[in-house]
A and B are shown apart, each in its own frame.
Chain A
Amino acid sequence: MNDQMQRTDTRPGEGPTPARAAGASKLPLERPAATSKRPRAEVQNLSFHYGATQALKNISIPIVDCHVTALIGPSGCGKSTFLRCFNRMHDLQQDTRYEGAIMLHPENINLVGREVDPIEVRMRIGMVFQKPNPFPTSIFENVAYGLRLRGLRKRSLLADEVEQALRGAALWEEVGSRLQQSAMALSGGQMQRLCIARALATKPEILLFDEPTSALDPIATAKIEELISSLREKVTVLIVTHNMQQAARISDFTAFMYLGELIEFDEAAKIFTNPSKKATEDYITGRYG
C-alpha cells in the first residue's frame, strides 16, 4: 500500500472539524402561541339545571370572534345543552335555571340574563339543527321569514337579502332559478343549506350548529363543512359534533366536555395532537374512559 499515494497535499488546518457553536442556531422549545384573539362572547361560570338535575357545571370559555369553536364529548355530556343556552332554547321548557353568564361583546349583554328578551337574543344568535327543518313553504319564503319578522316589507329589498343569504349558504347556484318551488322538494343537503341561509338572513353575530351533518351523506357533509369554513369570515361559529374528525377538520378551537363539565379547551390542533388532559386523550383516541 506504499505505492498508492502520489498526492500528499494534505488539507490545510489539521485541527478537528470546526466546533459546533453551542446553542448558536437553536430553535426555541416553546412555539409562539396563537395570539390572544378577541372574543365575541365569553362564557363565565355557566351552570344550568333541568329541575333538580345539574346539566352544566361551572363552564368558562371564550368564544373567539370570526372563528369556529367545536364542542365534543360523549352523548349526554351537556354539549347540546350548552349550545342551546346561547339562544335561550331552554326557556321553552319549564323549571330550568341558568347560573353564571354568557357575555356578548362588544355591548356586554348577558345572553342568559333574566332581563334580556330571548326573542332579541335569537335574532342575534342563529341556530341550525341536526335534521334539516325547512318550513313547508317556498324556498324564498323560508329565507324571507326572519326578515319579515323583523318588519322588512319591501319586495325588492327582501329579494336582495334572500339572494345574499342563499349565496352565503352556497345554495344560490342550485336554487336561484326556482325560488318559488317548495323547500320540501330539495335534497337533504340542500335543505340543510337552506336552513343555514334562513339563519344567515337575519345577519346573526353567532351561528350555532347542533350536529348539522349527522343526517347527511359524505358529499353533502363536505359541502356543509366547506360552507362553515367560509362562514367564519363573517360570523362566529359554535358547533356541536359527534364526529371528531369533523371537529378536527373545521374548528379553530375545540372544547371537550364530559358529564356536564368542561375538561379541556384549546386550539384544535393542540387538542388533536397533544391534549393536556388524559380524559381528552382517551376520548379522542377512542380508548375506554
Chain B
Amino acid sequence: MENADLSHHILSRFNADLEQLRSNVLQMGGLVEAQLKLALQALLEGDSAAGDEVVRAEYEVNAMQVSIDDECSRILATRAPTASDLRLVVAIIKTVTDLERIGDEAEKVGYIASHHAALERPAEHYRVMRHLGRVVQEIVRDALDAFARLDARTALEVAKHDRLIDEEYDAAQRQCITFMIEDPRTIRHAIDMLWIARALERIGDHAKNICEYVIYMVYGRDVRHVSMGDVEKHIQALSESQGLASPAPATD
C-alpha cells in the first residue's frame, strides 16, 4: 500500500466509496487545520471574532465525524473489506476521532482567547505560545499530508517530532510558573495560558496518533505504544526487503 491504490477494484462502486471516504477525511482535516489556525489567530492577535468562529466551526467538525463514521460502518457491513482496504477503513475510524479531538482542543484555545481579547495582554505571555503554536500547526499539517499521500516515512518523522512539542510544553509551563512567582496578579492569566499550552500539547499528541495510523495503513503494523526506534528499524528492513528506497535519515 505504498502508493494510494484505492482504485482498480473490480467493483467500481467500491473504488468510489473508498475515494469518497478518504476525501471526506481530508476535508475534515482541512477544517480542523483551519480551526487551529483561527484559534491561534484569536490567541496571538486578540481577535475575539476569530475565537468565536472556532467555537462555531466545532459543530461542522462534529457533524463530519458522525457522517464519516457512518460511512465506515456501511462499508464494513456491505463490502467486507480486507487487507489494505480494511486497514484504510479502520485507520479512518480512528483518525476522525483524533481529528475531532484536535477540533475540541482548538475550540478550548479559541474560547479562552476570545475571553482574553478584551483584557490586558502581557506580550511576554504570548511569546512562548506563539512558538508552541507554530510547532503544533506544522505537525498537524505534516500529519495530514502524510495521511493524504499514505506516506509512512513522513508519518514516522512527524511522530518523532512530537517530542519537540513536549519540550516546548515544558518550557511554556516553566515560563508561566515564573510569571506567577514574579507577579501574583498575573496568576489568573498565566493559568489560562497553561490551559492553552496544555491544549496545544494535546493537539500534538493527536497528530502523532494520526501518523501512527498512517504507518498502520501502509505497513499493517500497529505501532502505538511502541518505541519509534523499533518502528524505524522495522520500516527500514521492510523497505530493503521490498527493494524500495531507504527512508530519509532521522533528523533527531
A interface residues, Cβ below 8 angstroms from B: 1-2, 4-5, 8, 10, 14-17, 20, 23, 25-29, 244-245, 248, 272-275, 280-282, 284-288
A288 to B10, CA, bound (A): 6
Is the pair B226, A29 in contact by a Cβ cutoff of 8 Å? yes
Identify the closest chain A residue to B90 (Cβ): A273
Flag B51-80 by CB within 8 Å of A: 1 or 0 each. Answer: 000000000000000000000000000001
A26 lies within 8 A of B227 (CB): yes
Whether A287 touches B10, Cβ cut-off 8 Å, given contacts A26-B227, A29-B221, A29-B223, is yes
With the chains together, A1 CA to B11 CA distance in Å? 64
- Cα distance A26–B230 in the bound complex, in angstroms: 10
Most buried by B among A8, A14, A29: A29
Q: Which residues of B contact A (CB under 8 A)?
A: 1, 5, 8-11, 14, 80-87, 119-120, 166, 169-170, 173-174, 177, 180-181, 184-189, 219-221, 223-227, 230-231, 234
Query: Assuming A1-B188, A16-B173, A17-B173, is B227 touching A273 (CB within 8 A)?
Result: no
* Contact (Cβ within 8 A) B86 A4: no
Using Cβ atoms and an 8 Å threshold, which residues of chain A touch B8? 282, 287-288
- How many angstroms from the CA of A25 to the CA of B224 in the assembled complex? 12
Partner of B230, one of A5, A17, A29, A288: A29
Q: Do the beta carbons of A5 and B84 come within 8 Å of each other?
A: no
A-B contacts, 9 listed (Cβ < 8 Å) = A5-B184, A14-B181, A26-B227, A27-B225, A29-B227, A281-B84, A282-B8, A287-B5, A287-B9
Contact A5 B187 (CB under 8 A): yes
* Chain A contact residues, majority secondary structure: loop
Residue of chain A at shortest CB distance from B229: A23
Interface contact B220-A274, CB-CB below 8 Å: yes
Task: Determine which residue in A4, A25, A274 has the highest number of CB atoms from chain B within 10 A of its CB, and name it.
Answer: A274
| A2 & B185 in contact (Cβ 8 Å cutoff) | yes
Asked, given contacts A10-B180, A29-B226, A287-B10, whether A273 binds B83 with beta carbons under 8 Å apart, the answer is yes
